[in-house]
Structure 1
Amino acid sequence: MTEAQALYDNKRMTPTDAANLIRNGDTIVVPTGVGEPPALLHALSERRHELRDVAVSQILPLRRFAYFDPDTRANVRHDAYFFGGASRPGGQAGWIDYVPAYFSELPMLLDRGLLPAEVVVSMASPMDEHGYFSLSLAPDYTMAAVRRARVVLLEVNPNVPFANGDCLVHVSQVAGIVESEDALFEVGLPEIGSVQEAIGKYVADLIDDGATLQIGYGGIPDAVVMQLKHKHDLGIHTEMLGDGILSLIEAGAVTNRRKTFMPGRTVATFALGSHRLYRTMHRNPGIEMHPVDFTNDPYVAAHNDNLCAINATMQIDLIGQCGSESLGHLPYSGTGGQVDFVRAANRSKGGKAFIVLPSTAKGGTVSRIAPVLSPGTHVTTSKNDINYVVTEYGVAQLRGKTAKQRAEALIGIAHPDFRGELREAARKMSLL
C-alpha cells in the first residue's frame, strides 16, 4: 500500500462524520454548479439545527438543499456569490444575502482574507496513483479557498472526470473523504426559438474563422453556438464549458490550432452540461480546467487574438449601460464574468465583445432597450465597456460613438413597436 493510499483510507468517513468537522461560525465555500457535493451538503443540512452562524458561499447552486430555509438562517445561511434557481427566491425575499464581485476577483478576495473560507466542500475525481484528486467540475475560486481553509472535505465520485490544468488537490491537503457513485447533475441545451435564432445569426456572421470564443450562460449564447458549426479552427477560452461548446468540438469547428495563447487547448473554469461532456473532459489533453483568476483575468484572456465574448443582458439604456443581474432592485443572478470578458475582448487584438438580448420582455409588452434602466437596477457592464449590442432586429456597435449616436443605434435595433416612444424619450433627454 502506498503512503497516499494509506492517507486516503485514514481520511475516508461518512457524510455525517465529515459534517461534524464544521464548527459554529465557519464559512463553507462550495464550487460553482455541478461542483457542489450533494452528500456533504445533505449532511450539513441535517446538522443545521445544532449549528450557529455558519455561512455557505457559492456561485450558481443547482439543488435546493434543506439548509435553504429562512427558519434556520441563524444556524446555516447562504451567502451568494451569484444567484441560481435554488437561491434566487431567498435573495429576492431578503433572507439570502449576496457578495457583489467580479468572478475573476473572487480568488484574490479569498487570498487576502476579504472573503472567509474555513471549510471547503467539493466534488472530486477518484485519486490518481500520485495521491491527487481533480476538482475538474469547478476549480474556479475553490482552489483559492483550499489554500486558506482549515478543513477540506471531498466527495469522491467515479463520474467526476480527472481533468488537466490547475485543478489538482493532494490527499495530504484533505481532512475528510466521502465516497459516492450517484450520477452527476446534468444540464442540457435550452430550446432555441426564432428570436434567439435571429440574434445568433447576427453574431455568427461577425465571428471569423480562427476566432477564440467565450460563451456566456443562457439560451441566446447557446443559439449563437448552434450557428457556428460551419466555422473553421475556432478556439475556446471561456469560463463555462457546456454542451454548446462540446457540439462545436464534435463538429470539428473547434480545433484551437489558431489560438495565440495556449494553442491546442480548450480552457475553462467550470463545467455545466451532460454526462457526455463530463466523459469528454476525462484525461483529455485538449481540455484544461483552471482557476477563474486565470481564465477570466482580462489581461490574461486578451492574450488570445480575435477573442469574441458573447454574453446576455436583461436591459440596456440608451447610452449603453447594461443591467444583467437584477430586475430593478431585486437580485436575479450576479455580476459573474460578463465584465471580465467584455474587457478582455476589448483588449484583444481583433477582439469583439457582444451583449445579446431579445428586444422585448413580458410577452412583447416591455422594451428591453429603455431610455434609462429601471429604478434600482444593478449596472453590470458600463457604458465605457460596451461594444456590440445585438437583438433580433440587428447590431448596434457603440464603442467610439457619442451618446447621441449610441441612442440612435440602439433605437434602430429596438422592437419597432417601441421605437417611437424611445425617440420621444431620447429627445426629452437631449439624446436626439
Structure 2
Amino acid sequence: MTAQDQYAAKRREAGEAVGLIEDGSHVIVPTGVGEPPTILETLSERRTDFRDITVHQILPLREYGYYDPETVEHVRHSAYFLGGPTRAGAQAGWIDYRPSYFSEMPALIRDGLFPADVVVAMASPMDAHGYFSLGLAPDYTMAALEKARTVVLEVNPNVPYAYGHCHIHVDQVTAIVEDDRPLLEVGLPQIGPVQEAIAGHVADLIPDGATLQIGYGGIPDAVVMQLLEKRDLGIHTEMFGDGILSLVESGAVTNLRKNVDRGLMKATFALGSRRLYDFMDHNPALEMHPVDVTNDPYLVGRHDDLHSINGTMQIDLVGQCGSESLGPKPYSGTGGQSDFVRASNRSRGGKAFIVLPSTAKNDTITRIVPTLTPGTHVSTSKNDVDYVVTEYGVARLRGRSAHQRAEALIEIAHPNFRGQLIEEAEKLRVF
C-alpha cells in the first residue's frame, strides 16, 4: 500500500478519531500552537462520553470546554506549564500541575513517569515520502510518539513543513483529521520604558558573534530590538518567535560564528505570526528538535558565547529566583529557564541573564526582596544565577558571597525600597 493509500484509509471525521481514545488514557498534546484545535474541541464536546481521560500539555493557548471543574471525572487537564486558560484551575486544584525541567520531559515520558498512551498533534501536509512535520512543537511530543498506542494528527495546510527531528511517517499514524483554519498567531508583547532600560543594559553585554537563547516576554523582545546592529549572531533557543525573526531579517543573525551547528538555527517550538510560520516552511536554515536536544545543559553548553535571557517575578538577596508562582499559588511553570542558565554557565564566554522590573503594581511592591514570599517555588537556584538586570543596572552574583550578592542586588533595586532592603539585610546578617 502506498503512502497516499494509507493516508486515505486513515482519514477520519473528528468525532470518529476522538472515539479512538480509550477510557483511562493519558493524552499528550504539543506545546502552544502545536495543539490540534479541531480534535480538542471535539473531545471537549464529547467529554461526558469518556471516563478518566487525562490531557497533558505545556502552555495551552485556547479555552477548551474540558477545562471544566464539573467534568474532571471524565476529562482532566494535567499541566506541564500554565497559561491563561489553565492558571485559575490549577490554583483552585482541579487542574494538576506537574513540575519538571523542560529538558527532562522526554526522559520522563520514556521512563513512564509521565504516562503517554495517545498523542494528538497538529501536522503539516504529508510529503511525497509519507512524512508529516510536527515542526510547530516537537518538544516532548517525539518521545511520546515512541510510547503511544494511538496517534491522531490534525493535518492543516497552514502548518509549515520544518526540518530537523520532527517528522512522523504515515505508518505510525492511527487516524488523520483534516482542517484548514488559520494557525493561532501570537503578537509581540508590549514594550515600555522600563523594558527598554533593562534591554539596554543586557544588549551592552552581548558581543558580536554571540549565540542567543531568548525567552518570551516584553524584556527579551526589547533586548532583541537593541541587537539589530550586532553582527554574526547565532540562534540556539527554546522558542522561535517573531523577535528572533526580526534579528534574522535585519542581517544580525548569520550563525556563521557558531562553533556548534555553524550556519544553523535550532529551536523546539514556534510561537508567533503568520510571517514566522511562512519563514519556517521548508527552510534549511532552521531545524526544529525535541527539547532534550535544544535544552539539555550539557549539549547546549558546548556552544561558545551562549547568552540566555529569561525573566523572573521575584528574586531574594542571595539570588533565588521565583519565576513560576505567586507565593504558593502556581502561575506558570519551570520551563527551560534553569536549563539555559546552566548551559550558559557551562559555555565558554557564556552569560546567563535573569531580567525583571524592579517593582510591581505601579512601584508599590519591590521584586527584589529579602527572602522570597513564603511558599514561592524556587525556579533557578542561587548557585546557578549569574547576571541579574533591572532598569537600574546589572548585578553579577556568581562567585560572590552572600554579603556581596545582597549589596549588588540592593544597588539595582528601586530607590524607594533600598533603605528597607538594607535594614532587612542587616537583620538577616547578610549586610
TM-score by length of 2: 0.99
- Counterpart CA distance in 2 for 1:92 and 1:364 is 26
SS at 1:350 equivalent? coil
Q: Which residue of 1 aligns with 2:93?
A: 94
Q: Deviations over 1:31-84 (max 9, x none)?
A: 000000000001111121011110000000000100000100111010000001
SS at 1:333 equivalent? coil
- Counterpart CA distance in 1 for 2:61 and 2:273 is 14
Alignment coverage as a number of residue pairs = 431
Q: Which amino acid aligns with 1:162?
A: Y
Q: Which amino acid aligns with 1:95?
A: W
Q: What is the deviation of 1:422?
A: 0.1
- Counterpart CA distance in 1 for 2:189 and 2:329 is 25
- Counterpart CA distance in 2 for 1:13 and 1:180 is 11
- Counterpart CA distance in 1 for 2:234 and 2:84 is 30
Unaligned stretches of 5+ in structure 1? none
- Counterpart CA distance in 2 for 1:168 and 1:303 is 26
Q: Which amino acid aligns with 2:27?
A: I
Q: Which residue of 2 aligns with 1:408?
A: 407
Q: Which residue of 2 aligns with 1:200?
A: 199
TM-score by length of 1: 0.99
Q: Which amino acid aligns with 1:421?
A: Q
- Counterpart CA distance in 2 for 1:55 and 1:192 is 37
1:424 and 2:406 correspond: no
Percent identical: 68
Q: Which residue of 1 aligns with 2:113?
A: 114
- Counterpart CA distance in 1 for 2:293 and 2:364 is 41
- Counterpart CA distance in 1 for 2:128 and 2:49 is 39
SS at 2:348 equivalent? coil
- Counterpart CA distance in 2 for 1:17 and 1:282 is 30
SS at 1:341 equivalent? helix
Please list, as runs of the form range in 1=range in 2, the aligned pairs for 1:111-190 lying within 5 A after superposition: 111-190=110-189
1:191 and 2:194 correspond: no
Q: Which residue of 2 aligns with 1:243?
A: 242
Q: Which amino acid aligns with 2:399?
A: G
Q: Deviations over 1:97-152 (max 9, x none)?
A: 11010000000000011110100000000000000000010000000001100100
- Counterpart CA distance in 2 for 1:367 and 1:149 is 46
Q: Which residue of 2 aligns with 1:306?
A: 305
Q: Which residue of 2 aligns with 1:18?
A: 17
- Counterpart CA distance in 2 for 1:333 and 1:324 is 8
Q: Deviations over 1:392-426 (max 9, x none)?
A: 00000000100000000000000000000000000
Q: Which residue of 1 aligns with 2:43?
A: 44
Q: What is the deviation of 1:249?
A: 0.3
- Counterpart CA distance in 1 for 2:240 and 2:174 is 29
Q: Which residue of 2 aligns with 1:81?
A: 80
Q: Which residue of 2 aligns with 1:231?
A: 230
- Counterpart CA distance in 1 for 2:120 and 2:341 is 31
- Counterpart CA distance in 1 for 2:333 and 2:118 is 23
- Counterpart CA distance in 2 for 1:85 and 1:227 is 29
SS at 1:427 equivalent? helix
Alignment RMSD (CA, Å): 0.6
Q: Which residue of 2 aligns with 1:265?
A: 264
SS at 2:85 equivalent? coil
Q: Which residue of 1 aligns with 2:374?
A: 375
Q: Post-superposition, which runs of at least 4 consecutive aligned residues in structure 1 deviate over 2 A? A: none
- Counterpart CA distance in 2 for 1:15 and 1:259 is 44
Q: Which amino acid aligns with 1:305?
A: D
- Counterpart CA distance in 2 for 1:139 and 1:258 is 26
Q: What is the deviation of 1:191?
A: 1.5
Q: Which residue of 2 aligns with 1:256?
A: 255
- Counterpart CA distance in 1 for 2:400 and 2:353 is 16
Q: Which residue of 1 aligns with 2:316?
A: 317
Q: Which residue of 2 aligns with 1:289?
A: 288
Q: Deviations over 1:208-229 (max 9, x none)?
A: 0000000012111111111100
